[in-house]
Amino acid sequence: MIYDFDTPVERFGTDSIKWNVKEGELPMWVADMDFKTAPEIIEAIGRRLEHGVFGYSGIGDEWYEAYINWWATRHGYKMEKKWLMFTTGVIPGISSTVRKLTTPGEKVLIQTPVYNVFTNCAVNNGCEVVTNPLKYENGSYSMDFDNLEQKLSDPQVTLMILCNPQNPAGRIWDRETLAEVGRLCHENNVTVVSDEIHCDITTPGVSYVPFASCSDICRDNSITLLAPTKAFNLAGLKTACISVPNSRLRHKIWRAINTDEVAEPNSFAVTAAVTAFSKCGEWLDQLRKYIYTNRVRVTEFIKENIPVLYVVPGDATYLLWIDISKTGYKSHYVAEHIRKTTGLFLTEGVHYGTDGDDFLRLNVACPKVTLEDGLQRLKEGILRLNCDGA
C-alpha cells in the first residue's frame, strides 16, 4: 500500500499547540508531525470508539508482545515482559523517576544542548542540574568523556538523563559511546535514565542502539523510556512504556508511577500502541523515506541559497539543527526576526541550553508543499536579517 504524506491536513481550530499561531504564520517548531497517523491506527481507534463504553482500561498481553516483538525485530534487542510498565508519557515517567530516585538538593546530569524539559524534570523535583556539554567540532557532536567523568565523580550527582537518539541534533550514539557512559555511571553510582522516544525516526537503513543493549552494566543500571508517539504522531493519546530490567530498580519505578498516578491507560492508549507496533511497520518505513528526502532537500537548499547557515548532519528525528553562528546573531534574535518578518516559527537553540544559542531547530515532518513554503520564508528571513542588521 502506498501512503499519502503529500496532502496537507488543516490543523487550525483543533486546539493544536503547534498551530496556535497567527493567521499567515507557519509553525515548524515543536516535535509534532503534520501528517495523519497511520490509517490502520485510525481504523482501530474507530472500532474501539464504536464500542461506546469507556470504562477503566487495563494492560493485556498484546501490549507487552507488541513492544517486545517490535524491539526484537526492529532494533535487535530482546526485552522481557516483566521489565515493561505502562505510563502515560515519557516525561511523566522521567519526572516520577527523578522524584523516586533522588532527594531534593541532589544533582541530575544532562548533556546540553538537549530537550529542555529534562531540566524541568530535575528542577521541579528540587534537584540541581549539572551539565556535561557535548563537544561541537567540525560540524558534528560527540561526548566529552573527560568532563563527564569529572561531573559524575561528584557524590551529589545521582542520576543522569540520556537522550538516545539525541534531540535536537539528531545524533545516533554508537554502541561504544553508550557502553562508556554506562561504565562511568556505574563506577560513580549514578543511575541512567535513557529517553529513547525518537528511536524509530531514523534514516532508512539506519537503526539506533538501545542503551540497555550495550552491556550488562548498562542493562542493570538503567531505566528506558519508550513510546510510539513520535514515530506515529500519537502524543495526544498519552501512551508510553518504561523498561527496567533490574528487579530492585523496577520495583521502585513501579511504586513511583503508581504513586504519581501515571500508570493507567485511557481507552485508546493501548489500542493505538498495539496497532502501531503490530500493523504499521510499512507505514513507518514510507514515513522515514519521506522525512529523509525532506532532510536532504533542506540541507541542499540551505547550502545553495543560504550558505551563511549550516545544517548539522543527523540520522535521527525529524528535527534539523541549523548552525547560525556565521550570521553574527544569537538564536533568540534570529528566530524572533524570522517570525516577525516572514511568519516562519522556528525554535531558538538557546531553548536547549546556552550552548545551543548559535542554532535554530526546524521540524521537517510536513508535506513537501509546506516544506517549500518554509524554506522560502527562511531564505527571506535570513536575507532581511543581514540587511536589517547592517
Q: Which three cell numbers stand for residue 265?
A: 491507560
DSSP per-residue codes, 351-376: GG-GGGTTEEEEE--S-HHHHHHHHH
The CATH class for the domain spanning 26-39+281-389 reads alpha beta
Say yes or no to pLDDT of 388 above 60.
no
Give dist(CA 185, CA 148) in Å, integer: 9
pLDDT-above-70 percentage for the chain? 99
Q: Which phi and psi angles does 9 have, rounded to 5°?
A: -110, 125
Identify the CA nearest to 260 among candidates 140, 89, 126.
89
Angle between helices 269-279 and 39-51 (to 10 degrees): 150
Instruction: Note the pLDDT tens digit of each residue in 125-180.
Output: 999 999 999 999 999 999 999 999 999 999 999 999 999 999 999 999 999 999 99
pTM over cut 0.95: yes
- Residue 238, sorted as left (phi over 0), alpha (psi -120 to 50) or beta, turns out to be left
- Looking at residues 351-370, what average pLDDT do you find? 98
Count of positions (residues) in the chain: 390
pLDDT-above-90 percentage for the chain? 98
In the chain, CATH 3.90.1150.10 covers: 26-39+281-389
Give dist(CA 85, CA 97) in Å, integer: 13
Q: Which three cell numbers stand for residue 369?
A: 508543499
Give dist(CA 201, CA 281) in Å, integer: 12
Q: Does 53-279 carry CATH code 1.10.260.40?
A: no
Query: Cα 188 vs. chain centroid, distance in angstroms?
Result: 27
SS3 112: coil
